[in-house]
Structure 1
Amino acid sequence: MTGCTRSSAGLSERRRRLLFRAWRRGTRELDLLTGRFADAVIGDLTDAEVEEFEGWCAAPDLDLYAWINGSKPVPPDYDTPLFRRLKAFNHAASAE
């Protein structure tokens, strides 16, 4: 997979921006982790979850990558049900 597989058609401007940002984090590895998750869930997230996801975009790439892959503990502010969904989603994808 090399990029976004979900159309932004029908998404609000805010969700389109978030989908774009999820696929353009700065490192290809993180793009794949956050982008594929965004493709799968962006249309179903609550407004609060969209805000949380936007917050992830402000985190440094290396830290976010380490939290997702489990090489660093997730800080309490990020250890939320949605972040755990992101981790589980990527763990399941890597097991395929």
Structure 2
Amino acid sequence: MSVVTQEERQARHLARLAIDRVLAEAPPATAQEGMDAVALTVAWRDLLVARRRAEGASEALDGRLALANGVLALTWSGAVPVTGFRKERLVKARAALADAAGEADA
């Protein structure tokens, strides 16, 4: 079993906060803030990849890595569209991050 580290929790939390900022109604988010959300999601995913390489596969770690890849896909497609943010995708990404942290209503 792979234990969730404080570093992993912090990386996931920062990604969620960045997505929250993009979803905020006022003031409207900028393209840079959208890219920041993607970058922080990538940082969380990369942390998980590094752990998997160092520790080897485990069902728990592989599950979190799969979740991170899904969140990254939603974040990228929601924050970097041709025009405007795709909020419905960002809402799904944010919900997945909150669920992973046990913060469904946070």
* TM-score (normalised: structure 2): 0.29
Higher helix share: 2
Larger radius of gyration: 2
- Greater length-normalized contact order (CA 8 Å, ≥ 6 residues apart): 2
